[in-house]
Structure 1
Amino acid sequence: MTVRVLVVDDHPLYREGLATAISAMPGKTVVGEAGDGDEAIRRVEELSPDVVVMDLHMPGTNGVEATRAVTALDPAPAVLVLTMLENDDSVFAAMRAGARGYLLKGSTGAEIGRALDGVANGEVVFSAGIAERVLAFFAGGPARREAVPFPQLTEREREILDLVARGLTNAAIARKFVLSDKTVRNHVSNVFTKLQVAGRAEAVARARDAGLGGPADEA
């Protein structure tokens, strides 16, 4: 059986190099490429690949959202995440979205080849360090405590970040929680500081990578 693969990454040189490497693997063929999540969804519908190799941090529709969309299709491809993001927030968001594998960029060609075969055959595959954290999660270990997105945030800060990721303005958030505009600005500022992000766009990207956010509410 030949595994038909779609490669999704927003960096053209990396994407093309990865596609070339996969094409050279026995029993693998690259049927297409995509540079963002929206294009990935379209290409899956057009090409019906067996496996989608998915980056997470991309402009527009990110890898978590794209994974959720393509795994809801019928037939659905297996999604193998290949990313630089190794934090627990990203790992668990991807798995909740339906990914069957999670590798870090820097994995060898042999590791990627084995993972492609594994997820195509219905297995779940992780990089070694990721696997340890996932096992600890199910064993009730430290990773379980980290499974809540951004544990460094308070519950209210996490709620506000979720609304920011949904596209709400500070004023709309203030109305929703019956808070003053200044209080919301302070919460948002604290969130940016704790996440070490430069502004709203970067915070939204981090939040969506971690599975927060969704359809925009009232702005």
Structure 2
Amino acid sequence: MKKSRVRPESSSVRILIVDDHPVVREGIAERIRREQGWSVCGEAEDGPGAIDMVRKRAPDLATVDLTLKTGGGLELIKTLKSIRPKLKVVVVSMHDEALYAERAIRAGASGYVSKQEPMSEIVRAIRTVLAGDIAVSEGFGRKVLQDWAESTPKRGSKPVESLSDRELEILRLIGGGLATRQIAAELNIGVKTVETYRLRLKKKLKLTSAAALVRYAARNIEG
């Protein structure tokens, strides 16, 4: 795991970067270091590393990818917030904002930025979140996510929107070509638990076979 240079100013905003791609981490870190009053207090490539950094470095804000080497970003956000409730989280991800942004906010994040956006958008999102607001793309609508964060919204009509965070994570892994045992190892859960989730997914998505589930996951969920 690569450790970042830490600025000595105690008054600076301490930011942790969580992403499994070193190039992405370095790019975000370099941009953050150019901002006055911000410092990179650490980097992590997976969930355990992020948890360790939050406990040891006490960051004010973390940028978190949803796809990591071990586990899923949504569950990680919940864990990080339970360890450090005041931690602010900005998700920086390749996943579809329309499908994942609401879930990220509900998990405890305060911002969501696509990796396809320029680096300036990540900076904008961090500034917005540090100011106490929710940061999302203009197209998605800040007000909509604010309503979702403060109330219980009605689910959309798409079947995939009815899935729990864990079900969605397993569906993503199925779409990525992972077998049941591989998914169990990836999420640190039992094989029978994964099999149960697969049955739930077929029922919720109205699919009749394991092959149909794999095809659905591959076509509808970004890896």
TM normalised by structure 1 equals 0.68
How far residue 18 of structure 1 moved from its aligned partner, in angstroms, is 1.2
Maintained 8 Å contact 1:6/1:52: yes
CA contact (8 A) 1:88 1:147 kept: no
Indicate if the aligned counterparts of 1:55 and 1:81 stay in contact, CA closer than 8 A.
Answer: yes
Using the TM superposition, give the Cα deviation of residue 191 of structure 1 relative to its aligned residue in structure 2, in angstroms: 1.6
* Runs of 5+ unmatched residues, structure 2: 1-10, 173-179, 184-188, 201-206
Mapped partners of 2:84, 2:209: distance in 1: 42
Secondary structure in 2 aligned to 1:130? coil
Cα separation, partners in 2 of 1:132 and 1:4, compared to 1, 3 Å = closer
- Comparing 52-61 with 186-195, greater Cα deviation is found at 186-195
Partner AA of 1:57 in structure 2: T
1:48-127 equivalences in 2 (<5 Å): 48-127=58-137
Distance 1:108 1:190, change over 3 A: same
Query: Paired residue for 1:24?
Result: 34
Of 48, 51, 64, which aligns to 1:38?
A: 48
Distance 1:118 1:110 in 2: 12
Task: Quote the sequence identity (%).
Answer: 32
Deviation readout 1:89-146 (Å, 9 max, x if unpaired): 32222112100101111333332223212212322111222327945985xxxx9543
C-alpha distance in 1 between matches for 2:159 and 2:68: 19
Is 1:189 aligned to 2:211, yes or no? yes
Structure 1 residues 151 and 133, CA gap change in structure 2 (3 angstroms): farther
Distance 1:171 1:124 in 2: 34
What SS class does the counterpart of residue 102 from structure 1 fall into? Answer: strand
CA distance in 1, matches of 2:209, 2:119: 44
Q: How many residues in Structure 1 have an aligned counterpart in Structure 2? A: 183
Root mean square deviation of aligned Cα: 3.8
1:102-181 correspondence to structure 2 within 5 Å: 102-131=112-141, 134=144, 145-146=155-156, 150-151=160-161, 167-169=190-192, 173=196
For 1:171 and 1:129, the matched residues in 2 are separated by 35
Q: Deviations over 1:147-184 (max 9, x none)?
A: 8761599xxx98x969x77544499649x99xxxxxxx
For the Cα contact (< 8 Å) 2:64–2:89, is it kept in 1? yes
Residue matched to 2:25: 15
Distance 1:56 1:125, change over 3 A: same
SS in structure 1 of the partner of residue 116 of structure 2: coil
Seen in structure 2, the aligned counterparts of structure 1 residues 170 and 31 have a Cα distance that, compared at 3 Å, is closer
Kept in 1, the 8 Å contact 2:135–2:142? The answer is no
Which residue identity does 2:44 align to in structure 1?
A
Partner SS, residue 57 of structure 1: coil
Preserved contact between residue 16 and residue 42 of structure 2 (Cα < 8 Å) = yes
Residues 7, 19 of structure 1: 8 Å contact kept: yes
Instruction: Give unmatched runs, 5+ long, in structure 1.
Output: 178-184, 198-202, 207-219
